[in-house]
Structure 1
């Protein structure tokens, strides 16, 4: 699923063939992984339009197999993409053109073999003739939907459907209704109407929910009692640092974290307002470079709220995967219960902190 993004260009010409590899290397193509996935829309007449970005498929997940299939039976093709740079795979639901008509055709061979591979199907619509071939493979480790899906636009029916079987037999069916699933069996003079119910694919999880699945700790649960070290190398238990009756903002960070260097001065700026509303700030560094480097980082940025080293303990008790992401902040109530979790640093994060600085303890 990797291709050049150098604009719309007609395939097959000599310049395209000679310059193709140079162009995609210039645009960041890599044989070492993290190649960008691409999706191109066939405009007809050997022209394609790059719709990678608008489709959501454009990423560095390094796709290695793609399946086009009508997973939800709504009459258009969705995309299932396997990835190399992760354990999960991706399903892209096609919600474009839901008002348009379609015709979904299943094939069963007799003389040509039951799966009917190699069969050519042509469908006549008001816009022209559409042609598809049923194949047993569709690229690397992939096979598309065995049903052939044709878009009919606003047509109420296909003018005709022609099937050319590998055995050499040709069949033709007139005035086939749209928005239907049919099965054509080699040698039979009529097709079968199939009942294939449309259903709703699950909506993607909100980003916040995806983010929370990567943590062992949950909102509404006690914050773990971590083992931490002061900048003077004194080992402590986190619970001994939390004063009963106070709320806390516990912020995980590191000296190598660029967003942290922006967030921490904002926390320092808001610290007095937090304190006025019974909220104390505690910073937990995930650094392993030693306290002197951490001290220098804090001094350069004027950070005065308490900071402790907690790398091994925090990673073990807070993160559910090998992915350690910071900054990461927890709002803890007077009883040590997690009430909010905020990941990353953005304008939304700052606004959330501003609201917190104006808040009163919940009753």
Structure 2
């Protein structure tokens, strides 16, 4: 929404439109996939102005998903607010665990209304600390089909207690409690002159998946487990077990690829250059195509035609769709994908895609292990 005010033939573009123009000038398009910005308050400067520092990338919250609602709640009861974000697509949601300032103290206040209704919406809580007075209002919904933590959380910094906690109920009546200990959760009931200390159980939120864990989640392979006993089709059309292509006493680098895969076209020549170095380091390189059929041609025929224009010195075979089902846990297999097996044929490492980083990973495999 924007507004235009006519004044002597001049138009005021309006503050909101100016903000939009500023964002568009920085590359925002409002068409989706913009990264979410996150700003950390640095407090007021000597002029009384509040300053913010952008921590989007550092916080890990600069997601490209389009959010539908954001919820602030202390999911693990550790004294700071975590963030739960629902996405428009609805296929996955995001939980961001807050580990910032965990050494500081907090106070959690739960309100129980009587005359004001049990949820006590509209009540105001003020907490006095050595820094000043922090004020929060008990509210209900926040965003689409979502609600923030009904408990109000206050940061006390290094203070061992709050000087006072003051509750103003929706009917205007007030209650005040002096010298409330830090790192506690209290329940205040409307009309009662004493609060109750609530014992909260700390929970441990799961650690974020590493990139390797995320990759393994898309595969049926498990680290340290034997690689599937696949049947492969050689380029002469004959079939053989994959084990027959492995070299005893050597590790094996299996490179999954396809003729339609553009990154594979860039990766294969680089792997071919490293082939002799892999071999010298007792690592056998094998390329396995996941091509099936196209225009009546079988997978091995497609690969044959593909390789007539591209020379590779390492063995190539075809596993097709059936072999892919034994490796991938998702419908759309991502290639290139390289899997390092140890001398016993167990999965040791997985390298996905083609980039400068994967090139460095391949380079490491050519070096003698200390």
Does the residue aligned with 1:17 lie in a helix, a strand or coil? helix
Alpha-carbon spacing, 1:144–1:255, altered in 2? closer, same or farther (3 Å): same
Cα pair 1:246 1:279 within 8 Å, conserved: no
Q: Deviations over 1:14-34 (max 9, x none)?
A: 754113334445534444x43
Larger deviation, residues 151-160 vs 78-87: 78-87
Matched, 1:252 2:256: yes
2:246 and 2:284 in contact (8 A); partners too = no
In 2: Cα distance, 1:353 partner to 1:147 partner: 51
| 2:73–2:82 contact (8 Å) kept in structure 1 | yes
CA deviations on 1:9-61 (whole Å, 9 max, x unpaired) are xxxx9754113334445534444x43433333455767655432221100212
* Shift in Å, 1:239: 2.8
Pick one of 197, 205, 212 that aligns with 1:208: 212
Q: Which runs of 5+ in 1 are unaligned?
A: 1-12
Q: How many residues of Structure 1 are paired with residues of Structure 2 in the alignment?
A: 346
Structure 1's 280 and 49: CA in aligned 2 closer, same or farther, altered over 3 A?
Answer: closer
Contact 1:227/1:313 (8 A) holds in 2: no
TM-score, normalization: structure 2? 0.79
Verify: 1:68 aligned to 2:72, yes or no.
yes
**Distance change (3 Å), C-alpha of 1:336 and 1:198:** closer
The correspondence of residues 1-363 of structure 1 with structure 2, limited to 5 A, is 16-25=15-24, 27-31=27-31, 33-42=32-41, 43=43, 49-85=53-89, 87-226=91-230, 228-230=232-234, 234=237, 236-239=239-242, 241-243=244-246, 245=248, 247=250, 248-255=252-259, 257=261, 259-287=263-291, 298=307, 302-332=311-341, 336-345=345-354, 349-357=358-366
* 1:172-209 deviation digits (Å, cap 9, x = unpaired): 22222222211111111122222224343332233222
> C-alpha displacement at 1:333, in angstroms?
5.0
RMSD of the TM alignment (CA)? 3.3
Residue 187 to residue 334, structure 1, CA distance change in 2 (3 Å):
closer
| Contact residue 124 and residue 130 of structure 1 kept, 8 A | yes
